[in-house]
Chain A
């Protein structure tokens, strides 16, 4: 069964600095999708970025980028120029193309220090 591991329960970063959140996953599949979701205090789940496993190029969305290492089964999220509004729980997620299940890591709580 697939698993998603986020080894950093909490992280802090100074406003305007860069922070990297780690995520590793375990799978025997070759085709799948990876995501980072943000959950602010409102508890709404918001997609931050997606990555298709068949794409070698790392996804980028404005200040958010990923470092996707397929062989290492690693999918980290880099947030540049951190802003106060980035404070939230961040969840890494894996979607199987075979059985379509979407599973989440336990999350990393990110604090932004003014």
Chain B
């Protein structure tokens, strides 16, 4: 168990709809990352938050948005869904690199499998 919790595990929805994916990071981790993994593809970096603020942005579509709340959980909102948005969405959390006692790697949740029909 990585300590990162993602809900729901599976989601099936129709084209044009909007969904929200939720992530609770490991206790004490301030950074949250979101990745998209399409079938048999690599992990595409979407966005990163640090202590409530957006820190880095990857190839995130304008139809997608995210936020990190004061309790450090994060949500990824996907709207106007298309068939091509079907993928596994991972959330990961990490501590600060260079800080004594902090892990430098990202710990991943189990992912949310989104199917758009």
Q: What does the 1/0 interface line of A78-93 toward B look like (CB < 8 Å)?
A: 0000000000000101
A102 touches B94 (CB 8 A): yes
B42 touches A104 (CB 8 A): yes
The tally of CB-CB contacts under 8 A between chains A and B is 62
A105 touches B98 (CB 8 A): no
Size of A's binding interface in residues, CB under 8 A: 22
Complex-state Cα separation, A106 to B38, whole angstroms: 11
A45 touches B90 (CB 8 A): yes
**Smallest beta-carbon distance A56→chain B, Å:** 17
Q: Which residues of B contact A33 (CB under 8 A)?
A: 97, 104-105
Q: Which partner residue on chain B sits nearest A49 by CB separation?
A: B105
Q: Which residues of B contact A103 (CB under 8 A)?
A: 45, 58
B88 contacts chain A at the CB level, 8 A cutoff: yes
Q: Which residues of B contact A100 (CB under 8 A)?
A: 31, 48, 50, 55-56, 96-97
B92 touches A45 (CB 8 A): yes
Complex-state Cα separation, A8 to B33, whole angstroms: 26
Give B residues with C-beta under 8 Å from A: 31, 33, 35, 37, 41-43, 45, 48, 50, 55-56, 58, 88, 90, 92, 94, 96-98, 104-108, 110-111
Give A residues with C-beta under 8 Å from B: 31, 33, 35, 43-45, 47, 50, 52, 91, 93, 95, 97, 99-107
